[in-house]
């Protein structure tokens, strides 16, 4: 498949996926839209030293039972990222770890990680994710003096 067609198809899937209300997560904007409900992510700051710390954000991910789209994604923009540290993403269901990932952070603080939620092989659908999940995102940031304990 030619790269331009692939890029157009990929962008179309992202737009369709986002519009489907299946999962549309923007932790940096302070809310996550899932199934037409608004959930507030929980964010805490864990200081490492006087200069940097870990920002830990937890949010809800819901995989619809009748979903037919293959991809989901987590994306965000870090206001004060520390260069050289990736974003770590953990996905849990019922307190069981089901998926771990790390993704690089662009110079402007943007990160994105996409992952499969279902596979279709020989006409058979295999759901990788189904139901409710807790997504925990770890970002290394420069400390804000007001956040130091």
**Average pLDDT value for the chain:** 77
Q: Considering only residues 10 and 127, tell me which one the structure prediction assigns the higher pLDDT.
A: 127
Q: How many residues does the chain have?
A: 149
**85-122 as b/e: b if 16+ CB within 10 A:** bebbbbbbbeeeeeeeeebebeeeeebebbeebbeeee
Model's pTM, two decimal places?
0.69
Cα–Cα distance, 103 to 122 (Å, whole number):
31
- Domain 3-147 fold is Immunoglobulin-like (2.60.40)
What's the token pair of residue 77?
């923009």
What pLDDT is attached to residue 38? 53
Give percent above pLDDT 70 in the chain.
70
The pair phi, psi for residue 130, each rounded to 5°, is -155, 120
pLDDT band at 18 (very low <50, low <70, confident <90, very high): very low
Domain range list for the chain: 3-147
Place of tokens 């964010």: 43
What's the token pair of residue 144?
């804000």
Output DSSP code: residue 132: E
pLDDT digits (tens, 9 = 90+) for 57-106: 999 999 888 888 889 999 999 999 999 999 999 999 998 999 999 999 99
Helices then strands, each counted (H, E), the chain: 1, 12
* CB 130 within 8 Å of CB 55: no
């Amino acid at each position: 498949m030619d790269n331009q067609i692939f890029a157009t198809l990929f962008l179309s899937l992202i737009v369709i996926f986002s519009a489907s209300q299946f999962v549309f997560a923007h932790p940096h904007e302070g809310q996550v839209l899932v199934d037409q409900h608004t959930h507030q992510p929980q964010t805490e700051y864990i200081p490492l030293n006087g200069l940097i710390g870990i920002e830990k954000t937890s949010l809800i991910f819901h995989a619809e039972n009748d979903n037919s789209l293959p991809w989901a994604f987590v994306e965000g923009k870090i206001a004060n990222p520390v260069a050289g540290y990736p974003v770590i993403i953990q996905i849990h269901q019922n307190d069981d770890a089901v998926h771990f990932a790390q993704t690089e952070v662009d110079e402007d603080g943007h990160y994105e990680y996409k992952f499969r939620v279902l596979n279709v092989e020989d006409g058979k659908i295999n759901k990788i994710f189904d139901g409710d999940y807790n997504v925990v995102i770890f970002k290394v940031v420069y400390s804000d003096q007001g956040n130091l304990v």
